[in-house]
Structure 1
């Protein structure tokens, strides 16, 4: 009997046909061959719709080489495409529309604002959300600054810490603010002090040409002066059940308002960072258990709301009292935070779980598992 086939759907980064996660896909192909799953990589540009064939990227674990081969459409598709401002992304939208009937492990989530509004419908999640507004005028900025001494301005579709401003109301000076941030190319904007009119002008300029959120800041500055947060990964296992795969801490680069690894941050084991932050092992353990329960329930709820998912990363802020806030959710999460924190067992598990779930789906007539099923 032929092996079931999984196609990893990706997007080229440029005209040179570079793939951002090619080394990750290589590892997944190797793991797939070990468990009886044939895995290849393709983009919408590689599809020949007339012949219903794909000029796929194929990796041979024996020779250690990549090559191109014409392949039939796979039994299942694992969508790893992130938002781009390019014709390639428009091509992806057309592909998703044309082949909507195919079996996808995961469907796209909505933007940060829609996800925030969806979470806000349930009291279970409201307590874990920082106060957030869609930026429409300087009145929104002023309103949030009255309630919170620190706020963030962030794009509703941004990833990797791009395009984020941090604004802090200074106690010592009347109507003066400290601002710092990261541009769209991830360059750090050094801290500077401005008046309210100047701040409003900067934010107006910053938000031109896109939609942005203003969000309450949670105190996350470590004694070193660097900001930190936590990345939690929940995935469906080989029985189609949501499980926690792992959680890691992220500490931002010097002078950075974000903790993203792409922006120069470093990864730390979550239990180590939480113990340091909360002051005891017991408090750290309790926070991690609360976070796990929240993550699994959030995955079920979002899948119920938006359609099939196979994994979800939650970026969490945990304050000094151990209160947990969901800063963002990501349905196409990177995994290197586990490798960089030295947790190679969790890193390998994070690669393997979507493959095991794909096999489960294939054996169960390609039906995504019920969003209601969560392991207690």
Structure 2
């Protein structure tokens, strides 16, 4: 009986055909071979639609070398493609449309605004969502500044902390605002004070050419002055059931308004950072249990709303009282946060789980896993 085949679908970063997560894919191929799963990597540009063949990237664990081989379409596809603004992404959209009948472990999740609106339909999740508006004019900025002294402006589809502006109203009664942020190229914008009129102009310029959200800021500044949040990874296991894989704290770089690792941040074990933040081990444990329940129920609800998913990362803000807010949901999560905390067991589990889930899907004749819905 032939081994089941999993194709990891990704996108090249540039015309030189470089891949962002090649070392991760190499490890997944090695782990796959150990459990009887044949894994290869491909992009939409590697597909020959006439012959229904793929010029796949294959890795040989024995020789330690990558090579190219023509392969038939796999039994299952694990989509790792993140949004890009180029022709490569347009190729991806055509591929997804043409081969929509194939078995995908995960379907694309919608943008941040749609996910926020979907979560907000249910009181179970609404209480964990920061107040958020789709920016259309300065009136939306005014509304949020009246509601919250700190506001974030962020792109509707952005990743990695790019294009985020933090605004804080001064307490001295004057109409002055502190602003700082990160441009699309991750360059840090140093803090400065501006008037309301100037702020309106800056935000208008910031939001040109794209769609942006204005969102309530949650107090997340550590005593060191750096901002932090928590990355929680939930994945389907080898029985097709949602399970918590791990949770880690992220502390941003100096002068950064975000905690992203690619922006110079560093990772800390969640229990360590939470104990420091909330003041006791008991409060930290309680917050982590609440976060786990929220993550598992949230993943099931989003799958029910948008289609098959196999993993999600939830970026969480936890305030001083232990209240949890869902800042973002990422359907194509990186795993390195666990490697950076030194938690190699969780890092390995994060790579192994999609493979074990793929085996479950194959053995169950590609039937989707049972979806749990959440009551209002």
TM-score range, shorter chain: over 0.9
The worse-fitting range, judged by mean Cα deviation, of 107-116 and 362-371 is 362-371
Q: Does 1:45 align with 2:39?
A: no
What is residue 168 of structure 1 aligned with on the other side?
Answer: 168
Task: After superposition, give the CA deviation of every residue in 1:93-146 in whole Å (9 maximum; x if it has no partner).
Answer: 000000000000000000000000000100000100000000000000011101
What is residue 300 of structure 2 aligned with on the other side?
Answer: 300
What is residue 206 of structure 1 aligned with on the other side?
Answer: 206
Please show how residues 240-279 of structure 1 align to structure 2 within 5 Å: 240-279=240-279
The worse-fitting range, judged by mean Cα deviation, of 168-177 and 20-29 is 168-177
What is residue 357 of structure 2 aligned with on the other side?
Answer: 357
The worse-fitting range, judged by mean Cα deviation, of 165-174 and 266-275 is 165-174
CA distance in 2, matches of 1:128, 1:62: 48
Q: Secondary structure at the match of 1:96?
A: helix
Deviation at 1:362, TM superposition (A): 0.2
What is residue 122 of structure 2 aligned with on the other side?
Answer: 122
What is residue 33 of structure 1 aligned with on the other side?
Answer: 33
Q: Secondary structure at the match of 1:246?
A: strand
Q: Does structure 1 conserve the Cα–Cα contact (< 8 Å) formed by 2:164 and 2:181?
A: yes
Task: After superposition, give the CA deviation of every residue in 1:262-307 in whole Å (9 maximum; x if it has no partner).
Answer: 0000000000000000000000000000000000000000000000
Give ranges in structure 1 of 5+ residues lacking alignment.
none
Q: Does structure 2 conserve the Cα–Cα contact (< 8 Å) formed by 1:165 and 1:179?
A: yes
Runs of 4 or more off by more than 6 Å in structure 1? none
What is residue 218 of structure 1 aligned with on the other side?
Answer: 218
Q: Secondary structure at the match of 1:113?
A: helix
Cα distance, 1:216–1:361 mapped onto 2, change above 3 Å: same
What is residue 150 of structure 1 aligned with on the other side?
Answer: 150
What is residue 183 of structure 2 aligned with on the other side?
Answer: 183
What is residue 291 of structure 1 aligned with on the other side?
Answer: 291
Q: Secondary structure at the match of 2:168?
A: strand
What is residue 310 of structure 1 aligned with on the other side?
Answer: 310
Q: Does structure 1 conserve the Cα–Cα contact (< 8 Å) formed by 2:278 and 2:320?
A: yes
Task: After superposition, give the CA deviation of every residue in 1:150-170 in whole Å (9 maximum; x if it has no partner).
Answer: 000000000000000000001
What is residue 79 of structure 2 aligned with on the other side?
Answer: 79
CA distance in 2, matches of 1:242, 1:190: 41
What is residue 110 of structure 2 aligned with on the other side?
Answer: 110
CA distance in 1, matches of 2:373, 2:112: 25
Task: After superposition, give the CA deviation of every residue in 1:220-257 in whole Å (9 maximum; x if it has no partner).
Answer: 00000000000000000000000000000000000000
Q: Does structure 1 conserve the Cα–Cα contact (< 8 Å) formed by 2:40 and 2:56?
A: yes
Task: After superposition, give the CA deviation of every residue in 1:26-46 in whole Å (9 maximum; x if it has no partner).
Answer: 000000000000000000000
Deviation at 1:173, TM superposition (A): 4.9
Q: Does structure 2 conserve the Cα–Cα contact (< 8 Å) formed by 1:241 and 1:373?
A: no
Cα distance, 1:347–1:373 mapped onto 2, change above 3 Å: farther
Q: Does 1:230 align with 2:230?
A: yes
Q: Does structure 2 conserve the Cα–Cα contact (< 8 Å) formed by 1:230 and 1:249?
A: yes
Q: Does structure 1 conserve the Cα–Cα contact (< 8 Å) formed by 2:221 and 2:228?
A: yes
Q: Does structure 2 conserve the Cα–Cα contact (< 8 Å) formed by 1:237 and 1:357?
A: yes
Q: Secondary structure at the match of 1:213?
A: strand
Deviation at 1:367, TM superposition (A): 1.2
Deviation at 1:370, TM superposition (A): 1.5
CA distance in 2, matches of 1:243, 1:373: 15
Q: Does structure 1 conserve the Cα–Cα contact (< 8 Å) formed by 2:79 and 2:106?
A: yes
Q: Does structure 1 conserve the Cα–Cα contact (< 8 Å) formed by 2:120 and 2:126?
A: yes
Deviation at 1:373, TM superposition (A): 8.3
What is residue 13 of structure 2 aligned with on the other side?
Answer: 13
Deviation at 1:172, TM superposition (A): 2.0
Q: Secondary structure at the match of 2:246?
A: strand
Q: State the TM-score, normalized to the length of structure 1.
A: 0.99
What is residue 371 of structure 2 aligned with on the other side?
Answer: 371
What is residue 159 of structure 2 aligned with on the other side?
Answer: 159
Q: Does 1:94 align with 2:94?
A: yes
CA distance in 1, matches of 2:324, 2:171: 26
CA distance in 2, matches of 1:101, 1:362: 15
Q: Secondary structure at the match of 1:30?
A: helix
CA distance in 2, matches of 1:191, 1:27: 41
